Amino acid sequence: MRLCVGLEGKYHKVFFDNLFTTMELLKTLREKKILSTGTLRKNRLLGAENILAEDKSMKRRGEFSYTTSQCDVTVVKWNDNSFVHTASTFAGVEPLSYVERWDKKEKAKVNVTRPFAIEIYNQHMGGVDLTDFLVSCYRHNLKQKKWYLRIFFHFLNLAISNSWVIYRWLEEGSPLDLLAFRSSVATALIGKGLSLGSKKSRGRPSSSQAVPPAKLSRLQPPATLRKNLSLGHFPEKKEQKNASRCRSMACPKRCRYMCGVCQVYLCPECFADYHQ
């Protein structure tokens, strides 16, 4: 209801998946003159399952059953790979359409009847379903007792998937696929973390018997970031006490200038060659 603030009285059509859909929600939106459609879970049918046809009588793919309540909420049950329920305050069964499905017995694609409520839901919920699919492609398999870590990594995967979609819109030519894009993001984050970890940390000094850490090599940002001149690579002077080593492999000097995009220290004379 909070997401629909400002749509009252305009008869806009909103769509959502079974996480949100309830009969009470559709009725309340209808009273505020907001039309809605969403998939419905079996435990939220509120008696509609007694009116709809049973699963045993809907054996053929494409068969459907529907009912409409007194508050003008239409529930449609459709047999696809499994039974799907939709609830809508403006879409019903007609006009019917046809969709292609693979038939295992005939080993060919066949036309299957599809109600209008299913058709319009699939038409407008493609973005949400695509996001769920992209996140599930490379879902993390970490097992831990801390529940909030699963939420953190889920939102991290969601952010990477959304970033890849925007990257494909903006990138010309042949953009990276999702796996290569995730690898480039991981490389950049690991490099950034190692560069920050090289700084002197506060706290209790380690004992003399501890093994000294291995010397870190000069990390470089990914080539896709370093050679992309459209991002606007400009030097920024840092007011620090000690100068840092230039990241150009051919330069042994120290400087106080940093690239604002790559976040690496570079001498002014090495700036152009480094980004080419």
- Residue pointed to by tokens 């004379």: 269
Distance (Å, whole) CA 73 – CA 63: 20
Residue 216: its pLDDT value, please?
Answer: 47
Segments making up each domain of the chain, as ranges: 13-121, 131-192, 234-274
Distance (Å, whole) CA 165 – CA 127: 11
Non-local CB neighbours of 49 within 8 Å, separated by 6+ positions:
42
Distance (Å, whole) CA 157 – CA 139: 7
pLDDT tens-digit readout, 174-187: 888 999 999 999 99
Residue 199: its pLDDT value, please?
Answer: 58
Distance (Å, whole) CA 113 – CA 94: 11
pLDDT tens-digit readout, 217-254: 556 778 778 788 777 788 888 887 788 888 887 788 88
Q: Which residues of the chain have pLDDT under 70?
A: 195-219
Residue 48: its pLDDT value, please?
Answer: 86
Distance (Å, whole) CA 116 – CA 64: 11
Distance (Å, whole) CA 240 – CA 244: 9
> For residues 87 and 20, is the Cβ–Cβ distance under 8 A?
no
For residue 112, give the nearest of 97, 95, 93, 99 by alpha carbon: 99
Residue 90: its pLDDT value, please?
Answer: 92
For residue 264, give the nearest of 218, 228, 214 by alpha carbon: 218
Residue 201: its pLDDT value, please?
Answer: 58
Residue 159: its pLDDT value, please?
Answer: 93
Non-local CB neighbours of 118 within 8 Å, separated by 6+ positions:
76, 78, 84, 86
Residue 160: its pLDDT value, please?
Answer: 92
> For residues 215 and 242, is the Cβ–Cβ distance under 8 A?
no
Non-local CB neighbours of 205 within 8 Å, separated by 6+ positions:
none
